[in-house]
């Protein structure tokens, strides 16, 4: 078990390293740079700027330098947000993004799993069709359409919740963005749970549990749920990816001070270090999630302990 996890960790680090390296060199290979302005700078000033940021060095030296500072947790200076280092920007924004993502993920799981189970228990009845129609709706409609609609309804017309903005510690400002963000993974989780629950409910051990007179609630909670959650567990990594993607627009629309908008701004401004830092943070989160799912798998399916222990 531990050896299996160590081998997975051993696989994750080279992957991250390749992503960092590829991103670094691809961005440097691109024509244009962060100092391109409409107003052309004097060559001396350009040279000074490039020297200040180390661009006059050979590219391999720059790469080595970047990796070295990265190992110290320093993502380098931002080119557009003057006076800020990328590390500072991340330290400010990451908690907001993580909070938003964690609540959305929790919401998706807490609502999605019971909803899918509910639909499976009412297989081919109206309740099943209604839930699954809602699920298709949730999967099909993107968060950047849902959030303005919700804002219009609950903010502009009903005045129940703020449309946008952020106050530290204010839950009210987070409700609409997290709901919009959670909707797609929630719908997908409901669909996955329903499908696998239907399969599990047909299996022999469930028939045995029902036959010995256990109440339905016990059958579901004690016996059916754990195996039925396997597909949901393997969906967790794509779910995190979907929430990360969604948070880019949701933060922009709702005016939340997370790191999502830095990636977009960085891309528009060709702010190399900022984009690189964001890519590193996001891929680390995703790879970390992948490792967490591996642990979860072993807990959900005891067979995996033997298969993967070898």
Partner 1 sequence: MSDLAVDAVRRLRSNSAAITALCVLLLLLALTLLGPWINPNSLQSIDWSHIAAHPGTQSAHWFGTDRLGRDLFVRTLAGARVSLSVGLVASAVSLLVGISYGAIAGYFGGRTDHLMMRVIEILGGLPLIFFVILLTVIFGRNELVLFLSIGAVGWLTMARIVRGQTLSIRRREFIEAAVASGARAGRIIVKHVIPNVLSPVIVYATLTVPQIILFESFLSFLGLGIQEPRASLGTLIAEGAAEMEAAPWILLIPGGFLAALLLCLNLFGDGLRDALDVKEGG
Told to check if 137 binds partner 1 by CB under 8 A, we report: yes
The residues with which 85 forms a beta bridge, in sequence order, are 77
Reading the block at residue 121, the tokens are 């228990």
Q: How far apart are CA 104 and CA 97, in angstroms?
A: 11
Told to check if 236 binds partner 1 by CB under 8 A, we report: no
From the list 45-53, 106-114, 129-137, 295-303, the region that binds partner 1 by CB under 8 A is 129-137
Residue 92 or 283 with smaller CB distance to partner 1: 283
Q: How far apart are CA 100 and CA 244, in angstroms?
A: 10
Q: How far apart are CA 196 and CA 232, in angstroms?
A: 9
Q: How far apart are CA 55 and CA 44, in angstroms?
A: 14
Told to check if 179 binds partner 1 by CB under 8 A, we report: no
Told to check if 125 binds partner 1 by CB under 8 A, we report: no
The whole-angstrom distance between residue 301's C-alpha and the CA centroid of its chain comes to 25
- Residue from 142, 227, 255, 257 in contact with partner 1 (CB under 8 A): 142
Specify the DSSP class assigned to residue 171: S
Told to check if 228 binds partner 1 by CB under 8 A, we report: no
Told to check if 292 binds partner 1 by CB under 8 A, we report: no
Looking up tokens 């298709």, which residue turns up?
A: 136
Told to check if 161 binds partner 1 by CB under 8 A, we report: no
Residue 15 or 218 with smaller CB distance to partner 1: 15
Evaluated on CA atoms 212, 215, 217, 218, the torsion sign reads: negative
- Residue from 253, 259, 293, 300 in contact with partner 1 (CB under 8 A): 253
Q: 3-state DSSP call for residue 215?
A: coil
Told to check if 102 binds partner 1 by CB under 8 A, we report: no
* DSSP conformation letters of 36-67: --SSPPPHHHHHHHHHHTTTTS-HHHHHHHHH
Told to check if 32 binds partner 1 by CB under 8 A, we report: yes
- Residue from 131, 178, 193, 242 in contact with partner 1 (CB under 8 A): 242
Told to check if 241 binds partner 1 by CB under 8 A, we report: yes
Interacting residue ranges for partner 1, rule: CB under 8 A: 15-16, 18-19, 23, 26-27, 29-32, 133, 136-137, 139-142, 144-145, 148-149, 151-152, 156, 163, 195, 241-242, 244-245, 248-249, 252-253, 263-264, 266-268, 270, 275, 279, 282-283, 286-287
């Amino acid at each position: 078990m531990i050896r299996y996890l160590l081998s997975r960790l051993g696989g994750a680090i080279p992957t991250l390293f390749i992503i960092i390296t590829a991103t670094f060199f691809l961005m440097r290979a691109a024509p244009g740079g962060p100092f391109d302005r409409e107003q052309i700078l004097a060559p001396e000033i350009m040279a000074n700027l490039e020297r200040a940021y180390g661009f006059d060095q050979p590219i391999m030296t720059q790469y080595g330098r970047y990796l070295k500072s990265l190992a110290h947790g320093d993502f380098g200076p931002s080119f557009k947000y003057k006076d800020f280092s990328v590390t500072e920007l991340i330290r400010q924004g990451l908690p907001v993004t993580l909070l938003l993502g964690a609540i959305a993920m929790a919401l998706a799981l807490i609502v999605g799993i019971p909803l899918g189970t509910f639909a499976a228990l009412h297989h081919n009845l109206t309740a099943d069709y209604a839930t699954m129609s809602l699920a298709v709706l949730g999967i099909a409609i993107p968060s950047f359409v849902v959030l303005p609609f919700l804002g219009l309804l609950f903010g502009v017309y009903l005045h129940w919740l703020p449309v946008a903005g952020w106050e530290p510690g204010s839950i009210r400002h987070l409700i609409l963005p997290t709901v919009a963000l959670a909707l797609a993974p929630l719908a997908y989780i409901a669909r996955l749970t329903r499908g696998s629950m239907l399969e599990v409910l047909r299996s022999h051990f469930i028939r045995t549990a029902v036959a010995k007179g256990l109440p339905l609630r016990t059958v579901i909670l004690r016996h059916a749920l754990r195996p039925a959650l396997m597909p949901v567990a393997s969906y967790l990594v794509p779910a995190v990816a979907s929430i990360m993607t969604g948070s880019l627009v949701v933060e922009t629309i709702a005016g939340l001070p997370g790191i999502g908008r830095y990636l977009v701004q960085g891309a528009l401004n060709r702010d190399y270090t900022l984009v690189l830092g964001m890519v590193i943070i996001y891929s680390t989160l995703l790879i970390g999630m992948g490792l967490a799912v591996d642990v979860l798998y072993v807990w959900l399916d005891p067979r995996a302990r033997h298969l993967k222990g070898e």
